[in-house]
Structure 1
Amino acid sequence: MTPIPDSVFWSATLALGLGTFLIRFSFLGLIGGRPMPGWAMRLLRYVPTAVLPALVAPLIAWPAAAGGQIDPARLAGAAAALMVGAFSGRMLGAVVAGMGALYAAQALMG
């Protein structure tokens, strides 16, 4: 593998950094000082609730640690976390219950 010249590396790094800054500035810098419309605020309220399951679901359904096969221990942990979260409404309780159920199921199943 041939090394990348320093000038190319630093040019690409600066270009990517500037691109990232401009993407963030386009939203935060240009709109940040003004109040957002009510409809946008209502929609943005649901972003964290939608992002977390989107990140976690593939890890439960197709875990790389299990070779892409469904793992009963992970399903047990997800079910415990879902039940505790749905009934108590507490995120920390759901995380602790899910981790406890996952580790207990892994210990029982070997």
Structure 2
Amino acid sequence: MSKTGHTPPDHDTKLPRPLVARVEQWQRSGHYWRSGWHSHPWGQWSYATQGTLLVKTPDSCYFAFPKLAIWIPPHVKHLLQSTSPKGTIKSLYVANERLPEPAGNRFM
């Protein structure tokens, strides 16, 4: 686990199943949650059920307000960050071999 409380999956291996769900909650007094820069060989569909999710790439910045999701294509360097000291992020990791080509190579 990092100093931020984020425990990333092993980014150097395949997912254990074609679809993997993950929930992350944070509640810190005066601190905002942040994942740190990383990439992985699978796609990631993430949204905040509480708080707002910020996804940064080297070239762009995307916001997902509660109940709105962001698609992060495989191999894209990114970080996830909260914009409030309390919130919940839900993610669905999708194995690259299960993605249709057009959806697998761009942000949505």
Normalising by structure 1, what TM-score? 0.24
Q: Which has the larger radius of gyration?
A: 1
The structure where helix makes up a greater share of residues is 1
Normalising by structure 2, what TM-score? 0.24
The structure where strand makes up a greater share of residues is 2
